[in-house]
A and B are shown apart, each in its own frame.
Chain A
Amino acid sequence: MGVIESLALGFQVALSAQNLAYCFAGVALGTLIGVLPGIGPLSTIGLLFPITFYLPSIPALIMLAGIYYGAQYGGAITSILLNLPGETSSAVTCLDGYPMARGGRAGAALAISALASFLAGCLGTLLIALAGPPLGEWALAFGSAEYFSLMLMGLVGSAVLTQGDAVKGLAMVVVGLLIGLIGTDVNSGLPRYAFDVPELVDGVGFTVIAVGLFAVAEIATNLERREPQTAYTGALTSIMPNAAELARSFWPAMRGTGVGAFFGLLPGTGPALSSFAAYMLEKKIAREPARFGKGAIEGVAAPEAANNAAAQASFIPTLTLGIPGTAVMTLMLGAMVMQGVTPGPQVVTGNPELFWGIVASMWIGNLMLLVLNLPLVGVWVRLLRIPYRWLFPCVVMFCCIGNYAVNNNPVDVYLCAALGVFGYVLAKLECVLGPLMEEHLRRAMLLSRGDPTVFFTRPISLVFMVATVLVLLFTVKGLDLRVHRRG
């Protein structure tokens, strides 16, 4: 089947009334949680996870995907208007987005960020359609050794490339691996670190970790800030950027898309890292780097294109290799398994309705997001006026119900509270690097169940292992590979 026929099939699936409705629900919810600081796609997808059991597989996955890339659009709104990242992947957009808003160009910044995201979303979807199937065929040769070394490379690479401290990053990867060991050992059947608690024999669930370690800890951290944040909503008169702004944004958005697609494909890095990298690239190649940080439109276009491109591209390893590149993708993979779809290279050929339906829905979802974010941006802006003191108890409620819903077991809820305390301590010690660390953690958990014996005997695996060692050596030599968060 050629790409054209396959896409036609995909659109046929994605354009059914039910799938359109779930796609819209996903992107709208994604934008909502993107706008709201303190709740991200990981916790949201984790919380919706048990509910999707009751849906058929295609609408369930279309909706979960929509939440993920929808959040990339929504995060920018908060960054630009509030100088507070709605999502970590939009943190860097604050640097130039907020100065633009203060300079009376809030509308233009919002429009450019939506347009750049849309451009990246379209190209990202195209990339999945073109690169997915051949990659899937190549991956048929992968054994567990290749999977392990690829994930190890991703883990080490992201620990080293992350803003912050590489040694602490590596230590946190190990902590993540250890949490992943809790539960029954698949090879021997021996329960490890279960301490005779029956609930721990099955391991710690996705949702409990995502919600406890990150959502709960984040609420506690947010509540420490003394000064109340107010949205800069004064001069939102015209949302259209002028011709000069459009022209200046085009190439940064294209480059941002390239950077984002690269980091999205690479397991271990995700939207957050890609947006930092895209911003740094623009600053480096700009004729007047001094403009950055003072409201340069390029500083909005590039990272916003990058985070959406990365969000789309991260579906490629997930759908074609069965390797989750990011923490959210691990949940997507879990959702596929729950739905009876075996993730891996055979998805593209064996389940074309699913693969092409999701690809087509992503393009449709991006179109919906453009509408949600351009003419309807006022709705989201109004949301930012809801005081945090009303919002955070509601988030706690969703955390409680979501965790309880997984197994209808209060132990999951207690565990979530305990992990919240742990997450707060880690955040205080700057050991948690936002969602990047979530990604280490989840993939690490998967990795620890792998079979670590044969990585050096198989050629593809060997390449990944050598790359990992090289990355580590560069770190030890003090080569500054790290992307710093705030200029």
Chain B
Amino acid sequence: MHLHRDILAALLFIAIGAFALYGARGYPVGTAMQMGPGYFPVALGWLLILLGALVGVRAARARDWQPLAWDWRPLAWISVSILAFGFLMPRFGLVPALLAMFPLAAAAGRQSRWHEVVVLTLVMSGFAAAVFVYGLKLPYRLVAF
């Protein structure tokens, strides 16, 4: 069971381990007694590759493949909404950032209804302005152009 998944997990671990080694190539490794800043990263990189190989070998030997169901749509919309917030917030202020974030995030849900999203966006933008800017006095501008 779950073997397709473990092969992918193994590849992911090996990739992260290799990336760790690649990133650490310029760091002085030192010795066990006198560890340099590269010692720990290199050791962890190899350890992760080893563990990844272990997961992979074990998975490959049991050959009972099951497909994984990926659903990128919700994740993509959520990510876009967060990126939009991060982009708009310092440039245009809190309220425009939230006005963009809410509809984009709501697009991630299959059951979202547009008239509800409009109400939710307006109510929560007002709530955030009241709580964070007036209540907690965080130093944000509501609208800035």
Contacts and interface: CB of A to CB of B under 8 A. Distances in A.
Interface residues of B, number: 69
A235 B69 CA distance: 37
Contact of B37 (A185, A430, A431): A185
Contacts of B36: 188
Which of B35, B83, B85 gathers the greatest number of chain A CB atoms within 10 Å?
Answer: B85
Nearest to B79: A417
B55 A167 contact: yes
B71 A430 contact: no
A307 B106 CA distance: 34
A293 B58 CA distance: 33
Contacts of B109: 223, 388-389, 392-393
Interface string A275-310: 000000000000000000000000000000000000
B136 interface: yes
Interface stretch (A78-86, A173-181, A339-347, A373-381): A173-181
B111 A167 contact: no
A178 B13 CA distance: 11
Interface string A386-414: 01111011101101110011001011111
B124 A393 contact: yes
A428 B68 contact: yes
A411 B89 CA distance: 11
A187 interface: yes
- Most B CB within 10 A of own CB, among A171, A390, A394, A399: A171
A192 B41 contact: yes
A174 B44 contact: yes
Contact of A410 (B5, B9, B86): B86
Interface residues of A, number: 61
A448 interface: yes
B37 A387 contact: no
Contacts of B98: 397
Interface string B104-118: 011011111100110
A397 B124 contact: yes
A239 interface: no
Interface in B59-78: 68-71, 74-75, 78
Contacts of B113: 389
A420 interface: yes
B82 to A, nearest CB: 4
A188 B75 CA distance: 39
A216 B54 CA distance: 30
A421 interface: yes
B142 interface: no
A400 B86 contact: yes
Given A220-B74, A428-B70, A174 B48 contact: yes
Contacts of B6: 165, 168, 429
Nearest to B74: A223
A414 B79 CA distance: 9
Q: Which 9 pairs across A and B sit closest by C-beta, in order of nearness?
A: A413-B86, A223-B74, A220-B75, A410-B86, A171-B51, A417-B82, A400-B85, A185-B37, A429-B9
Given A390-B116, A411-B86, A430-B5, 15 more contacts: A54-B137, A174-B48, A175-B48, A177-B44, A185-B37, A187-B35, A223-B78, A223-B110, A389-B116, A396-B82, A400-B81, A410-B86, A410-B87, A417-B78, A429-B6
25 contacts: A54-B136, A165-B6, A167-B55, A167-B58, A168-B6, A168-B9, A171-B9, A171-B51, A171-B55, A178-B20, A181-B40, A190-B37, A223-B71, A223-B108, A390-B116, A390-B120, A392-B108, A396-B101, A397-B105, A400-B81, A413-B82, A416-B82, A430-B2, A431-B9, A453-B33
